[in-house]
Structure 1
Amino acid sequence: MSNPSSAYPVVPVEGKATRQVLVQNEQLMIVEFNFEAGGVGALHSHPHVQSTFVKSGRFEFTCDGETRILSAGDALLIPSGAVHGCKPLDGPGTLVDSFTPRRDDFL
């Protein structure tokens, strides 16, 4: 069994945001990202497959040049290697991201 989320610190990240690993093992990692109003998740890519669930707020997501607006309760799948990023709209927001395999750079 994995450690509870309280075992992982809240880490400030660029773009007016924080992240906290909730659970993880070698095959899967679930991470919560909290964005302040005006925050941004800069465009980037990684070899991990990622799913994103919008826990609260509204976000503009760009993935491989396509832009969509997602609201609380919406989800999206980001393929391995896709260039993607996001920004909260209308204030702060929270995302819950899953990565497979685990993102060792978050530990």
Structure 2
Amino acid sequence: MKSQLWITALTGVAVGLLSGYTLCGAAARATPPVQHFAFASLPIRAVNALTTRSMVSGQAGTIGRLVYRKGAVIPRHQHPNEQYSLILQGSVRVSIDGQTYLVKAGEGLVIPPNVPHRFEALEDGTVDVDFFTPRRQDWIDGTDTYSAGPGK
């Protein structure tokens, strides 16, 4: 009886250790590599005539750098991603749910998922760094619909 308990206990410990080893090993192999980047070296995409964007994505989020000329517009849109926008240089007017926000350099907004919003650049050289979670699959696939001219 005692030896049967020992065998059961040792078997349980061995299975636990082996399972842990397998899970840890699998988790280690599934971890993506660290991405070290500089926005200046990332490809730049013309979003519209007055806006460019560079971006990088990980497993759970996307970060993008948008550079606007005065009058650039990102038309009213919405997406399932939570958006954190930080204006590093210049200023933008953002329309969200009937409210207008003037966001200047050093200021930002957190826009909840699925909330319609619109950006308009008020100065040349406005730099906006946006973080999205989950990642922006439409940006990754190139299927976003931001192609719009000034004033749209």
TM over 0.5: yes
| 1:19-98 alignment, distance < 5 Å | 19-21=53-55, 23-98=56-131
Moved over 6 A (4+): none
The structure that is helix-richer by fraction is 2
Unaligned stretches of 5+ residues in structure 1: none
Structure 1 equivalent of residue 50 of structure 2: 16
Q: Is the CA contact 1:52–1:97 (under 8 Å) kept in the aligned structure 2? A: yes
One-letter identity of the residue aligned with 1:26: Q
C-alpha displacement of 1:92: 3.2
Q: TM-score, normalised on structure 2?
A: 0.65
Going from structure 1 to structure 2, the CA distance change for 1:33 and 1:39 (only over 3 Å counts) comes to: same
Q: TM-score, normalised on structure 1?
A: 0.90
Identity %, equivalent residues: 30
The structure that is strand-richer by fraction is 1
Q: Is the CA contact 2:69–2:123 (under 8 Å) kept in the aligned structure 1? A: no
Larger relative contact order, structure 1 or 2 (CA cutoff 8 Å, min sep 6): 1
One-letter identity of the residue aligned with 2:90: G
Q: Deviations over 1:54-80 (max 9, x none)?
A: 010011111122101010000100000
Q: Deviations over 1:29-84 (max 9, x none)?
A: 11000001221111100000000000100111111221010100001000000000
Q: Is the CA contact 2:77–2:116 (under 8 Å) kept in the aligned structure 1? A: yes
One-letter identity of the residue aligned with 2:71: G
One-letter identity of the residue aligned with 2:48: E
How many pairs align?
A: 105
Unaligned stretches of 5+ residues in structure 2: 1-33, 141-152
Q: Which structure has the greater CA radius of gyration?
A: 2
C-alpha displacement of 1:4: 1.7
Q: Is the CA contact 2:92–2:122 (under 8 Å) kept in the aligned structure 1? A: yes
In 2, the alpha carbon distance for the partners of 1:97 and 1:32 equals 6
